[in-house]
Amino acid sequence: MPEIEIQNEPCSEGAAIVIFGVTGDLARRKLMPGLYENAIRGRLPQPFYIIGFARRPWSHEKMREVLYQGVYDHGRSETIDDEILNQLLNRAFYVESTFQDPDGYVKLEQALDQLGIRNTLFYLATPPGWYATIVENIGRFKMETCQEGLRRIVVEKPFGRDLETALSLDDELHSVFLEDQIYRMDHYLGKETVQNILAFRFGNGIFEPLWNRKYIDHIQITMAETEGVGTRAGYYDHAGVIRDVFQNHLLQLLTLTAMEAPAVFNAKAVRDEKVKVLKSIQAVKGDDALKNTFRAQYVSGTIAGKRVKSYRDEPDVSPDSITETYLAARLYLNNWRWAGVPFYLRSGKRLPNRVTEIAIQFRQVPLALFGQQNLAGEAPNVLILRIQPNEGITLFLGAKVPGSVMRVEPVEMRFNYADAFGGEPPEAYERLLLDCLTGDATLFTRNDEVEEAWQLTQGILDAWENQDLRNLAVYEAGTQGPHGADDFILRDGRQWRKI
């Protein structure tokens, strides 16, 4: 390892982040810009150190150059303060080692001792296959604890690829770290507009009385992407939508939409309520899983005027792949608030627009008073919580058009995050990195939460294993999705919102 040249500093209340896999895209695109944004706002403990750990033959200077450029390429600030950025990177050091080499961890331990930092955050920015090896070696050299200091570890999703591997990963983590040291990162929970779901629900008295089965007909949670699999094909072809976004992102949005108000706003209380929601979801297994899910795969089509190839023609995708790139699911919650209200979850790649939203469809009015002139429909009230893009909240109402004729048309009441607060919301990693450093686990998934989500997902996966998919449904890239998904929801007398 190149020598770490620093002035001798006493053991302090500062902190260090050790980024395993620092040479990958995550460190350059998300972690370093997030650290910089916190630095310019004076939020990082001081002194603050960055230690990169990876196998490439880099020097300290090489790593600093790459991370420096990462802030310029991917930071959200329009202008970069070079003085603050260089101050941050002057305390960035590199450890060259493979993840399985014990000598690398000896070098890491020596670096931490030399820097004299008590508080350390280990960040696993690596492929999931390396998690167990890294954790085992951290434990071998007793780096998970520090006298008079705090040690924590951040694990990026996916947390396993099925229930069995998720439980195995959990055991491996707990063999070295305590649960309150483990921060399972689902970056969706760090999005400002996702957090706004709780503020909207529990900070406004006019909506909470309506947030139940008496007034809500159904809820649609949508995560649509225009992109294909890109460079992730090797992973995606073994994961599909169900592992990539359903088991984590979509179920997380469901829990925040459906949970009861916590007694207090802290990590334990919030996560307790989310787990209750997951436990209340009606099991989806066997024939019920096949009846309540629909999957499909995109074929060649046109997006934004450009012809794109089919999924099976993507590099690193099997030519006879039956991996789903579109999933629709119908879930019910067995509790007093939501009994009988269907939650429709859908996600797909190569759809016409990039949209993540939660749509709450309120029930029809008791009597249709305005006949054919009611162009707003008998159930005009829809509340849209838009996660991305154009983050904000929209409420659709029926209103009378000016004039002598009683004609009702749909209108919108709209809140836009950027207009209201004078800029785009912070990046998720900016908030989540700070929470890791300060020890706030509210926006991170707990082990029982992960297990419950996998219990539900595993029932679907098991049912799919026995399904004949030689004629897997398809949809043309750039369209609203497969026709079968429309039939899936039309059988309930409902229809999807247009993407």
Distance CA 36, CA 26 (A): 14
363: CB partners within 8 A, 6+ apart: 214, 215, 216, 217, 379
Tokens coding 316: 């690193």
Q: What is the pLDDT of residue 12?
A: 45
> Does 389 sit behind a cis peptide bond, omega within 30 degrees of 0 on the bond before it?
yes
With cut-offs at 50, 70 and 90, classify the pLDDT of residue 376.
low
Locate the DSSP E strands across 35-111: 48-54, 92-96
Q: Which of 227-231, 261-265, 374-378 has the lowest mean pLDDT?
A: 374-378
Distance CA 135, CA 81 (A): 36
With cut-offs at 50, 70 and 90, classify the pLDDT of residue 422.
confident
Distance CA 73, CA 83 (A): 17
Distance CA 357, CA 223 (A): 7
Mean pLDDT over 173-200 rounds to 90
Pseudo-torsion of CA 298, 304, 307, 313, nearest 10°? -40
Q: Where are the alpha helices (DSSP H) in 347-408?
A: none
Q: What is the pLDDT of residue 372?
A: 55
Three-state secondary structure call for residue 147: coil
Per-residue pLDDT at 369 exceeds 70: no
CB 433 within 8 A of CB 31: yes
> Does 158 sit behind a cis peptide bond, omega within 30 degrees of 0 on the bond before it?
yes
Q: What is the pLDDT of residue 6?
A: 39
Using one digit for the tens of pLDDT, what is the confidence trace for 143-152?
998 877 899 9
pTM higher than 0.85, yes or no? yes
Q: pLDDT averaged over the chain? A: 90
Three-state secondary structure call for residue 286: helix
Q: What is the pLDDT of residue 147?
A: 78
Using one digit for the tens of pLDDT, what is the confidence trace for 124-142?
999 999 999 999 999 999 9
Higher pLDDT, residue 431 or 401: 431
With cut-offs at 50, 70 and 90, classify the pLDDT of residue 368.
low
- By residue count, the chain amounts to 499
CB 271 within 8 A of CB 326: no
Helix H or strand E segment including 155: strand 151-156
Which of 450, 458, 435, 449 lies closest to 274, judged by CA? 449
Tokens 């033959």 -> residue: 57
Give the chain's radius of gyration (CA, Å): 25
Per-residue pLDDT at 122 exceeds 60: yes
CB 132 within 8 A of CB 173: no
Residue 38 CA, distance from chain mean position: 20
Amino acid at residue number 411? V
Q: Is 464 exposed, middle or buried (0-12, 13-18, 19+ CB in 10 A)?
A: middle
Q: So which residues are the catalytic ones?
A: 249
Name the pairing type of β-strands 12-20 and 48-54.
Answer: parallel
* Residues pairing with 154 in the sheet: 123, 183
Per-residue pLDDT at 7 exceeds 50: no
Helix H or strand E segment including 383: strand 382-388
With cut-offs at 50, 70 and 90, classify the pLDDT of residue 378.
low
Tokens coding 188: 């969706």
